[in-house]
């Protein structure tokens, strides 16, 4: 049962991938060790560039790291590119990693209407800005939903998809109850942030270990309160990026699936996807093993 005003910690990957990884296995991360996927390790990378680009009336931010075939990886809700770096930052050693701040997230301030189509179009606008014809497009939770929408709406722009911790079964099925509760709770917190400032989100993280709490807060407390409220409102609407899992049969490229492992992201969602995709690659991986599997997956694609 979810305590009102405090979503389950496993859902707070939305604020930080670090939080999710700690909740699922506290041994993975300690308060003094955020390795091996600490985004701070990438701050001085030789091939690291911040990018600003325009898309449908908004000025959006992304980070461009490394060289090689492009992997565009999208963070979860209530996060920014730093959460993606925690998840897959190590892939920049062999791939060109593109980590955007979604519209309404991080530096990409926006308070207008949001839809999965608009978010998918933003991904393609980033590819256009960089003169990239195609990329592997991936993401975690909300980010995996954006990747799905790109695959369905802009199939010519994807060399492959990577979907980690998916939670949307399709509009013909209900979202997991735990996800609905968590999204409503976060929407309430988003409204408080809009009314009283972003510091109103601080109580959501009080029970976390200090280093993990500080990492999440360092990310969130720089957010625009109106953008946070708009994002959480959109998530609480329960809009889905696909009408039915059957739609996935139209995806012709290989798709790497990393099942979720908590009530908000039940592994059955990845299983549902696998039954309808033409070329699913299901992996059970975390930490450095996930990065290795992603590099192998991308290296085996037809570019």
Does 287 score more than 80 pLDDT?
no
Q: pLDDT confidence of 9, banded at 50, 70, 90?
A: very low
Hey, where are the domains in the chain? 9-299
Q: Are 258 and 290 in contact (CB under 8 A)?
A: yes
Q: Give the per-residue pLDDT at 45.
A: 53
C-alpha to C-alpha distance for 66 and 48, rounded to whole angstroms: 7
Cα dihedral sign, 299-144-114-103? negative
Calculate the alpha carbon distances from 24 to 12, 102, 118, 288 in Å. Answer: 11, 25, 32, 16
Give the number of residues written for the chain. 303
CA distance linking residue 277 with residue 264, whole number of Å? 22
Confidence at 20, pLDDT banded by 50, 70, 90: very low
Q: What is the pLDDT of residue 24?
A: 39
pTM of structure: 0.87
* pLDDT above 90 for 101: yes
Could you report the per-residue pLDDT of 52-96, keeping only the tens digit for each?
A: 999 999 999 999 999 999 999 999 988 899 999 988 999 999 999
What is the percent of the chain where pLDDT is above 70? 84
Query: Confidence class of residue 36 from pLDDT cuts 50, 70 and 90?
Result: very low
In angstroms, the CA 72 to CA 54 distance is 17
Mean pLDDT of the chain, nearest integer: 86
CATH of domain 9-299: 3.40.50.1820
Q: Could you tell me where the beta strands, DSSP code E, fall in the chain?
A: 48-55, 58-65, 70-74, 96-100, 135-140, 158-164, 255-258, 280-282
- Of 170, 144, 31, nearest to 83 (Cα)? 144
* Omega of the bond leading into 51 within 30 degrees of 0 (cis): no
For residue 10, pLDDT beyond 90 = no
Q: What is the mean pLDDT of residues 169-189?
A: 92
Tens of pLDDT, residue by residue over 212-232, are 788 888 888 889 999 999 999
Strand-pair category, 96-100 with 58-65? antiparallel
pLDDT value for 42: 52
């Amino acid at each position: 049962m979810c305590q009102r005003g405090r979503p389950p910690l496993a859902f707070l990957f939305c604020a930080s991938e670090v939080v999710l990884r700690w909740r699922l296995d506290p041994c993975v991360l300690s308060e003094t060790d955020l390795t091996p996927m600490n985004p701070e390790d990438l701050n001085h990378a030789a091939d690291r560039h911040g990018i600003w680009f325009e898309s449908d009336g908004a000025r959006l931010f992304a980070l461009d790291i490394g060289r090689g075939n492009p992997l565009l990886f999208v963070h979860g809700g209530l996060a920014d590119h730093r959460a993606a770096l925690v998840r897959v930052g190590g892939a920049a050693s062999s791939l060109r990693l593109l980590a955007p701040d979604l519209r309404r997230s991080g530096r990409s301030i926006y308070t207008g209407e949001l839809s999965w189509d608009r978010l998918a179009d933003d991904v393609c606008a980033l590819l256009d800005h960089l003169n990239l014809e195609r990329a592997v497009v991936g993401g975690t939770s909300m980010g995996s939903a954006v990747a799905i929408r790109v695959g369905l709406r802009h199939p010519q722009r994807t060399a492959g998809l990577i979907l980690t911790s998916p939670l949307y079964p399709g509009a013909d099925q209900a979202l997991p109850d735990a996800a609905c509760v968590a999204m409503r709770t976060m929407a309430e917190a988003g409204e408080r942030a809009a009314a009283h400032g972003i510091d109103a989100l601080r109580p959501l993280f009080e029970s976390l270990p200090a280093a993990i709490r500080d990492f999440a807060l360092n990310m969130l407390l720089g957010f625009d309160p109106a953008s946070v409220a708009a994002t959480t409102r959109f998530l609480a609407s329960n809009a889905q990026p696909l009408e039915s899992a059957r739609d996935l049969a139209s995806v012709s490229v290989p798709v790497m699936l990393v099942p979720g492992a908590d009530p908000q992201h039940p592994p059955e969602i990845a299983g549902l996807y696998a039954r309808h995709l033409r070329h699913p690659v299901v992996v059970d991986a975390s930490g450095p093993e996930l990065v290795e599997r992603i590099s192998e997956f991308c290296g085996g694609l037809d570019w």
